[in-house]
Chain A
């Protein structure tokens, strides 16, 4: 029973274009969402987060959008760069000291 789903295992985008990574969740108690980026043989690196009281959060080239009614969030990367090629994980947590629940990841390839 996957509470956080990343339905696209992979995505290819041309350099300079927008990358959109999607994530769906089923648990309506989730109130905090994060995106992590992972290169091979390294640990995940925190990218950006959003609280359920917001619907958008920006940090440089990265923007996360949250649609609570659809239980959907997305990560936009503009413009995409070859160094963005990595696996991106969506994660969510519910109130209290509950552990983060991760999706299975989407592998992004940015082609020069």
Chain B
């Protein structure tokens, strides 16, 4: 069974630009979550989607948005990039996202904002 796939793996953007990251969950998984990892800050929850609906949202500004498609694939978008947005963005999937579900991560998308 294929794992969680994230594209692109690495990208460099300029301040003020926007970026879109893509995630394909494990087949059959309907919940997709996004996390941001920065040095020393662990994994910060961005948002979670289930059946094309955002169910949970973390404490990030409105510049961070996402969506989920009918095939469970998900995208996240960051607009008006700031230097502090440089981070590893991780997508994770689980069958339903309910407690007791293990979530499985992709390899991440490394974003550098210059």
Contact = CB atoms under 8 A, between A and B. Distances in A.
Interface of A: 31-32, 34, 36, 41-46, 49, 51, 89, 91, 93-105
B105 A45 contact: yes
Given A51-B100, A97-B55, A98-B99, A42 B42 contact: no
Contacts of B45: 99-102
Q: Which of B40, B43, B45, B103 has the most chain A CB within a 10 Å cutoff?
A: B43
B75 interface: no
A87 B42 CA distance: 10
Contacts of A100: 33, 45, 103
Contacts, number: 64
Chain B interface residue number, banded: 20 to 34
Nearest to B3: A43
Nearest to B35: A102
Q: Which of A31, A49, A51, A97 has the most CB of B within 10 A?
A: A97
A43 B42 CA distance: 12
A24 to B, nearest CB: 14
Contacts of A32: 99-100
Contact of A49 (B4, B48, B102, B104): B102
Given A32-B99, A43-B107, A97 B48 contact: yes
Interface in B30-75: 31, 33, 35, 40-43, 45, 48, 50, 55-56, 58
B42 A97 contact: no
